[in-house]
Amino acid sequence: MKLHPLLRLLIVGTGIVSLGIVGCDQQRNFGADAGQQPNTNQVETETSGTPQGATTETQARALDVPYVPTPPAVVEEMLQIANVTGDDILYDLGSGDGRIVITAAKKFGTRGVGVDIDPQRVQEANQNAQEAGVSDRVKFREEDLFETDFSNATVVTLYLLPEVNLRLRPRLLEQLKPGTRVVSHQFDMGDWKPEKVVEVEGRTIYYWVVPEKAS
């Protein structure tokens, strides 16, 4: 049977359009199926970044305090308000790139320890200490500050968050000797009244001295 040329074109065109519709539907279904499947490579990458033996609690604490560097002028004032000297042992809890500990060592000869749960920050701090020429007077630990022994500190510096300060306060009062100086950038410690409050470039610095323990 011979078909009129116009009718033949109409049939062929309809077939092409139908194929196109089926192709689009198949592509949409493939995309939907792919979205329902877990990305195993991504899961492996995220998991492999967790230190071996790390607990869920430790991983959660890593997110307690985001890394925000303390401005140099605030670092200087924190050390001044605490009257830091070469006889002190300074612990910076949440030490980031190590700038407070390093500045104290460089300017006053202070021995210092920085504590941070982020291995990248610890590595950066060690490199900065080496470049500043104070590696013999400072060290940095990759530790959870809630598990750190800082009982030999004479000065403790902090730039944490209000809720973290409050959780940490009992450990400070329990571990630190009377007379130990505590300086916090930006956040206080609830009803523990500071002895000094100083403003620097729109930032607040709080200063306490650990009291004699009740008998």
pLDDT tens for each residue of 168-201:
999 999 999 999 999 999 999 999 999 999 999 9
Distances (CA, A) of 75 to 32, 64, 153, 196, 203: 53, 22, 18, 16, 11
Contacts of 207 (CB under 8 A, 6+ apart): 81, 82, 181, 182, 183, 194, 195, 196, 197, 198
pLDDT at 213: 81
State phi, psi for 38 to the nearest 5 degrees: -65, 145
**Nearest in space to 112 (alpha carbons), one of 154, 144, 160:** 154
Provide the token pair at 115. Answer: 């504590």
Q: What is the DSSP letter of 188?
A: -
What pLDDT is stored for residue 11 in this prediction? 42
| Assessment of whether the complete model's pTM goes beyond 0.75 | no
Q: Is the pLDDT of residue 68 over 90?
A: no
Q: Which two tokens stand for residue 105?
A: 């060592």
Residue 95 pLDDT greater than 50, yes or no: yes
In this predicted structure, the answer to whether residue 151 has a pLDDT above a threshold of 70 is yes
Q: Across the chain, what does the average pLDDT equal?
A: 79
10 Å Cβ neighbour count for 186? 17
The whole-number pLDDT of residue 64 equals 60
17 — pLDDT class (breaks 50, 70, 90) = very low
pLDDT of the residue at 49: 35
170 or 8: whose pLDDT is higher?
Answer: 170
More confident residue, 63 or 42: 63
Higher pLDDT, 190 or 7: 190
30-56 mean pLDDT: 34
* Stretch 114-127: mean pLDDT: 96
pLDDT value at position 67?
82
Which carries the bigger pLDDT value, residue 11 or residue 44? Answer: 11
Share of the chain above pLDDT 90, in %: 67
